[in-house]
Amino acid sequence: MILRVLTARVPSQNIGEFNELLRAQLSELREQPGLVYAKLARRLDEDQTEEVVLIEEWRTTADLFAWTGGRLNRPRLLRGTEELVDNLVIAHYEALDVSPEDLQQRVLGPDAMAVSRWDGKANADEDDAEPSWGAVDSDVSSRRTDEMDPRSASDEVRPPSGVLPR
């Protein structure tokens, strides 16, 4: 997960027009594949300016690159919006609060997770589905049972010399 955070200072004479344009931008932004979350917020300062923050959360860097056209340090704003602000800053952060399993489920979806756990068998019945154990499974299943049982006739278990059996 990648967070993209845009912050800007909006002079008082531009606040209305800027907010209108950015709200319109949100409609397009929220339709983008891979966008998990978007929040537009503001804080009014004593000098009558507005500090604005736009927080975007993206599933993958590929989704973010698609949205930005690979120009991560440039804002993706409607025409005329950038001219209304002072001090526009863009920063990107990698989410640390997501486990690899949670991230895989968010990116691939719950159906893909079920497929990967059951060796490609989507929607398999629980009775006949078996987990895939890869090379371990094939290695063990190819052995004879007498090779795995330490008490088999070919591998008689004896106590170490000098120890009497009970």
pLDDT digit string, tens, across residues 96-109: 887 777 767 766 77
Instruction: Extract the runs of DSSP E, i.e. beta strands, from 59-150.
Output: 86-94
Structural domains present in the chain? 2-94 (3.30.70.100), 98-129 (no CATH)
- Digits of tens for pLDDT over the chain (166 positions)? 899 999 999 999 999 999 999 999 999 999 999 999 999 999 999 999 999 999 999 999 999 999 999 999 999 988 899 999 999 999 999 988 877 777 677 667 777 666 555 445 445 444 444 444 344 443 433 444 444 444 444 445 455 555 555 5
pTM of the model: 0.60
Q: Sign (positive/negative) of CA torsion 116, 142, 148, 135?
A: negative
Q: Which residues contact 150 (CB under 8 A, 6 or more apart)?
A: 157
For the chain, percent of residues with pLDDT exceeding 90? 52
Q: Please tell me the predicted confidence (pLDDT) of residue 64.
A: 95
- Would you say 22 and 82 are in contact if contact means Cβ atoms under 8 Å apart? no
Length of the chain: 166
Q: In this predicted structure, what is the pLDDT of residue 40?
A: 95
pLDDT at site 113: 60
